[in-house]
Amino acid sequence: MRTVRRIALAVEAVVPSERTYLFSLGSQQGNAHLHWHVAPLPPGTPYEQQQYHALMTENGVIPWSAQQAVELADRLRTALSVVGDGG
């Protein structure tokens, strides 16, 4: 959880967001595993719609180029290097 928190704080540092949701959902892959979703909500998402907005895949697809994804990854790596462990 400490690592998940560090990542969420890094995401909040580089992605404008109203708030950030952390959640884990099951899958139909048939194997035991755990993964976390870090879902920053865009500014202005109405409060009463926020939980559903975070879960809806049509709101979570980012139409970015590979270069934009690389730039975001670089910004996240930089933010992770300065974010504490939250403890």
| Predicted confidence (pLDDT) per residue in 29-59, tens digit | 777 778 888 888 888 888 888 877 777 767 6
Give the model's pLDDT for residue 67.
Answer: 95
- Kindly state the tokens that stand for 9: 């704080």
The angle that helices 2-14 and 66-82 make with each other, rounded to 10 degrees, is 120
75 or 21: which leads in pLDDT: 75
- Which of left, alpha, beta for 86 (phi over 0: left; psi -120 to 50: alpha)? left
Distance, in Å, from the CA atom of 70 to the CA atom of 22, rounded to the nearest integer, reads 23
Query: Where do the DSSP E strands lie in 1-87?
Result: 20-23, 37-40
Long-range contacts at 23-27 (CB < 8 A, ≥ 24 apart): 23/54, 23/55
Q: What is the reported pTM? A: 0.73
